[in-house]
Amino acid sequence: MWSKIRSVSQKICDALEWVLAVIVFIGIATAIIRFVPNILIFASKSTTPHDFLTYLEDVFTIVVGVEFLKMLCKPSSDNVIEVLIFLVTRHMIIGDTSSFEDLLSIVGIALLFVVRRHLRKAKEQSQTHTRQT
């Protein structure tokens, strides 16, 4: 009985993930549609550094949204780490951070790359081991 309840709850959770993925996709599509006129305005006028940061913030928001959608549609450790890398990068570039916070962000990104590399190697080794047996 408990296995049936677990199975049904897992199916419900999977369906909810897909519903959320569709909602996120609609949000990303809306953000891109609203962003297109901003590209034209940004390209046609002389911009200030503040305008450029606003532009970058919009771009990074869409990129993080796309990565989050990938994570919802195809959950894997690689996708989760990519989302985290983009989030830390966005915070470091867009945010008003101190040198120490930038250093911590860089160390965090480097650690995320190390973890991702380690996970890929472990996955490749397990696939190689599985093929050999």
pLDDT of residue 78: 85
pLDDT of residue 11: 92
Predicted model pTM: 0.72
Full domain range(s) for residue 46 = 2-132
**Please, what's the b/e burial string for 11-20 (b: 16 or more CB within 10 A of its CB; e: otherwise)?**
eeeeeeeeee
pLDDT digits (tens, 9 = 90+) for 82-128: 889 888 988 888 888 899 999 999 999 999 999 999 988 888 887 77
- Average pLDDT, integer, range 127-133: 70
Spatial neighbors of 30 by CB under 8 A, at least 6 apart, are: none
Per the structure, how many domains does the chain have? 1
38-47, 52-61, 81-90, 117-126, range with the lowest pLDDT: 38-47
